[in-house]
Amino acid sequence: MTGPLKVALLGCGTVGSAVLRVLQGQADELGARIGRPVEVAGVAVRRPAHHPDVPAHLLTTDAHALVTRDDVDLVVEVIGGIEPARSLMLAAFEAGKSVVSANKALLADDGVALHAAAAKAGVDLHYEAAVAGAIPILRPLRESLVGDQLSRIVGIVNGTTNYILSRMAETGAGFGEALAEATELGYAEADPTADVDGFDAAAKAAILASLAFHTPVSAADVHREGISTVTATDVARAAEIGCTVKLLAICERVPGEDGDSVAVRVHPAMIPTSHPLASVGGAFNAVFVEAEAAGQLMFYGQGAGGEPTASAVLGDLVAVARNRMTGAPGPGVTGYANLAVRPMAETPTRYHVSLDVADKPGVLAAVAQEFATHDVSISTVRQTGRGDAATLVIVTHSAPDAALSATISALREMPAVRGVTSVLRVEGLS
């Protein structure tokens, strides 16, 4: 091979234009690191007129023609969404070209088939930018920790919801008010559904779990709850027990009598303020990893934005370019363990429950009996107030999620319970 390695860039939004800027501005440095010059062969966009900064001769609307061009060596996909990204990626593989992607939705939806297509073609598929922006986490899972047995990943992987929850804690605002502020400041999209309802975090959780447990996990396997139901009361109650509310992506290996399974879930939870994830504020991301030999690890950094995401894309680009030079793709992703995905109902969790009750003798006993009936053990109970305003705050031990949610339903029906004012899962309490 002679001459420069040529890169096809698919998409030129915030991330794509940052990638283009670095690829052109740092071309000499990147070439030295790869061992061969690298240049942009073309940029596929839908509306060329919207990209006056991109040299006109590079722009094309025919993405398919670009990825299959003979002189293109590598493809960077930053279009996002399922189609046409998926078809373009498959066309690239068929044409023998490695792909770097930032597409969490696609990888979480169809990662197994895409990896199989890349392996069949003998090319690379990397997507570090798809999870936690600039933070190197997928390569550490795929390679650095591949000799260890991972037990648990807990991540704050969505900056928008983390910003909203941080503001709720700081100002006492409700969800709606904090969301409005986030939208105004540009931290939330005009349609915030993907973020606030947890779809974005669930896609990332699926990707993390797949790599960590050598098991195919798709977005559909992830139990998903967003933050729109988190109230100012929940946030205040969390503070009272030394906790803070975060939207967590949790991937666990759960031992069972008939073999281990994996539980993958995204939901808001109270975590102790002393937990390393508790101080991850604003738009930052962090991923906490527990492994048998390595113990506890944490990875922290910027989870979104054009430049940080471009850093991850370009790291992958140099890696796949180097592999292109040696003629051998790097290691793929293994799914050999193929562990069962445990339904949320059977996943062990802990609940925090706050109840308004009549302050009469026997109420606590009746409430406690309801937990016992569902085989849920109580960790702590705190009673505040007197008379009409009496409040019971209960934190349970770990129990199957279905038993906990059945307990809550039963409590709502109890005459002595005037209202269930806050229900939230608790993570990381000893």
| Positions marked active-site | 204
Cβ closest to a second copy, residue 15 vs residue 250? 15
Cβ closest to a second copy, residue 37 vs residue 300? 300
Q: If binding is defined by CB under 8 A, does position 4 make contact with a second copy?
A: no
User: What mask, x for binding a second copy by CB under 8 A, covers residues 323 to 342?
Assistant: x--xxxxxx--x-xx-----
Looking at 215-282, which runs of residues are DSSP E strands?
223-224, 243-254, 261-272
* Least gap, CB of 141 to a second copy (angstroms): 9
Cβ closest to a second copy, residue 56 vs residue 328? 328
Cβ closest to a second copy, residue 327 vs residue 361? 327
Helices (H) then strands (E): counts for the chain: 14, 18
On whether 17 is known to bind a ligand per the annotation, the reply is yes
One of 46, 55, 113, 143 touching a second copy (CB under 8 A): 143
**3-state SS assignment for residue 385:** coil
Q: If binding is defined by CB under 8 A, does position 82 make contact with a second copy?
A: no
On whether 251 is known to bind a ligand per the annotation, the reply is no
One of 87, 296, 373, 409 touching a second copy (CB under 8 A): 296
On whether 189 is known to bind a ligand per the annotation, the reply is yes
CA distance 217 to 120: 21
Span 355-414, contacts to a second copy by CB under 8 A: none
* Residue 156 CB neighbours (<10 A): 26
One of 314, 363, 392, 423 touching a second copy (CB under 8 A): 314
Span 48-77, contacts to a second copy by CB under 8 A: none
Buried/exposed code over 237-272 (b: 16+ C-beta within 10 A; e: otherwise): bbeebebbbbbbbbbbbbeeeeebbbbbbbbbbbbb
* Least gap, CB of 311 to a second copy (angstroms): 4
DSSP secondary structure letter of residue 82 = S
Reported residue count of the chain is 430
Q: If binding is defined by CB under 8 A, does position 27 make contact with a second copy?
A: no
Query: How many Cα atoms sit within 13 Å of 388 on the Cβ side?
Result: 0
What is the distance, to the nearest Å, from the Cα of residue 190 to the centroid of all Cα atoms in its chain? 20
Q: If binding is defined by CB under 8 A, does position 95 make contact with a second copy?
A: no
CA distance 305 to 327: 33
Residue bearing tokens 């009996």 = 369
- Rounded to the nearest 5 degrees, what angle is found at the Cα of 401, between the Cα atoms of 259 and 203? 75
Q: If binding is defined by CB under 8 A, does position 32 make contact with a second copy?
A: yes
Within 8 A by CB and 6+ apart from 296, the residues are 288, 289, 290
Cβ closest to a second copy, residue 213 vs residue 351? 213
Within 8 A by CB and 6+ apart from 82, the residues are 105, 106, 109, 110
Span 225-284, contacts to a second copy by CB under 8 A: 276
One of 67, 247, 251, 313 touching a second copy (CB under 8 A): 313
Cβ closest to a second copy, residue 28 vs residue 71? 28
β-strands 348-357, 399-400 pairing: antiparallel
The contact set with a second copy (CB under 8 A) reads: 18, 22, 26, 29-30, 32-33, 128, 134-136, 139-140, 143-149, 214, 276, 291-302, 307-308, 310-319, 322-323, 326-331, 334, 336-337
What residues form the annotated binding site for NADP(+)? 10-17
